[in-house]
Homo-oligomer: A and B are copies of this chain.
């Protein structure tokens, strides 16, 4: 086998094993030796590919975030009006929730570390800002085309992200507690149509 291929495969195996271990036992409880054994490689290989446990962790985070970004932007491209697009993205939640359910529980570790480690925080904040801008643009577009109320686009985007983050968080903590995919659809629907009954009639 070519060297480059072999190397890349080992790296991938380590990443996959680490993802599994972190999700199963948590970051702190997952030893490097344990990860190596799960990946079927030696410690030498590990430290040849990664500067340390933390570096591996951040690498994992980066990969997941770029994946999410790609998935989301793809889903938004197939619809006409902005409300339709948002509904589509909400429906896609089912896919995200179900596909790699156990693996994603390591995201809690990310958030946890981000609150203390500046490097991790930056790694999370940067794509977050991109998401926010993306949704803000989308919402502004909806306002311009007249399908959305004349709201503050940035604030509305933040609300949307907070809502989905919260749903995802609860899904991670208590996967069996509810049909979170359905809950996401319901929540987006509720956000779109409003909870309060309008007092006066429309013009």
Chain A interfacial positions (CB closer than 8 Å to B): 24-29, 83, 105, 108-109, 111-116, 121, 124-125, 128, 139, 146-149, 151-152, 155-156, 158-159, 161-167, 169-170, 172-174, 177-178, 183, 186-187, 190-198, 200-203
**What residues on B are CB-neighbors of A186 within 8 Å?**
152, 155, 158-159
Q: Which residues from B are CB-within-8-Å of A169?
A: 111, 162, 165-166, 169
CB-CB under 8 A from A148, the residues of chain B are 195-197
Q: What distance in Å separates the Cβ of A198 from its nearest Cβ neighbour in chain B? A: 6
Partner of A149 from the list B121, B156, B195 (CB cut-off 8 Å) is: B195
* A25 CB contacts on chain B under 8 angstroms: 116
How many copies, total? 2
**B116 and A196 form a contact (CB under 8 A):** no
Q: Which residues of B contact A195 (CB under 8 A)?
A: 139, 148-149, 151, 156, 191-194
A16 to chain B, nearest CB (A): 19
How distant is the Cα of A164 from the Cα of B24 in the complex, in angstroms?
Answer: 27
A108 to B159, CA, bound (A): 20
Give the 7 A-B residue pairs with the shortest CB-CB distance, closest first. A194-B194, A166-B166, A28-B28, A162-B166, A165-B166, A159-B187, A108-B112
Set B139, B146, B161, B183: member contacting A166, Cβ < 8 A: B161
Complex Cα distance, B198 from A202, in Å, reads: 9
Chain B, Cβ-Cβ closest to A166 = B166
- Complex CA gap A123/B187 in Å reads 25
The minimal Cβ–Cβ distance linking A182 to chain B, given in whole angstroms, is: 9
- Known A159-B163, A183-B158, A186-B159; contact A114-B191, beta-carbon cutoff 8 A: no
Q: A125 near B83 (CB under 8 angstroms)?
A: no
A162 and B151 within 8 A (CB): no
Give, as a whole number of angstroms, the nearest-CB distance from A170 to chain B.
6
Judging by beta carbons under 8 Å apart, are A190 and B151 in contact? yes
In the assembled complex, the CB of A138 is this many whole angstroms from the nearest CB of chain B, namely: 11
